[in-house]
A and B are shown apart, each in its own frame.
Chain A
């Protein structure tokens, strides 16, 4: 059964700092990996989707990498801003015998202090 782990569970940084969020998964047979952002009391917003054949995706100040062989992904946020404060979740899409599904990590709660 696929397990997704995110480290750290919480992170607090001063504004302007570059930071890295980590995601690891146990089964490398994934179709894609997505990073989402969730604000308190809100739904999830997709940030980046990396297909299994890709190694990284970039959007603005965000860069996500994928290393399937080691079962790891990182989300790099450059020049962090208070508006980046949210919970960041990674999820891997896999095909299991019981069906296909997006399996989520527990998230990293990020606080960017002004």
Chain B
């Protein structure tokens, strides 16, 4: 079953605002991945995190692997209209092998 709690479920923001979303779990994860998915397309990998405490940036995006290994957040700074989409976190647990556990997604809407 689903073991990742992703929040918020949806966000409506104005262009230029910063955005923050996170995923939490009661399980320990070895890897955290953040994907963005546009309608009708496949998820695109944004950031991959491999070590507890790791903070990684990709342009206006910043993500962190929580110290407890049970959470991760993604920040988007100075949002633009093309940031619209669904953002999924995904994690690989110690005992899950190749399986990724996905969050339910955060639907982001950016008003120009």
A and B interact:
no
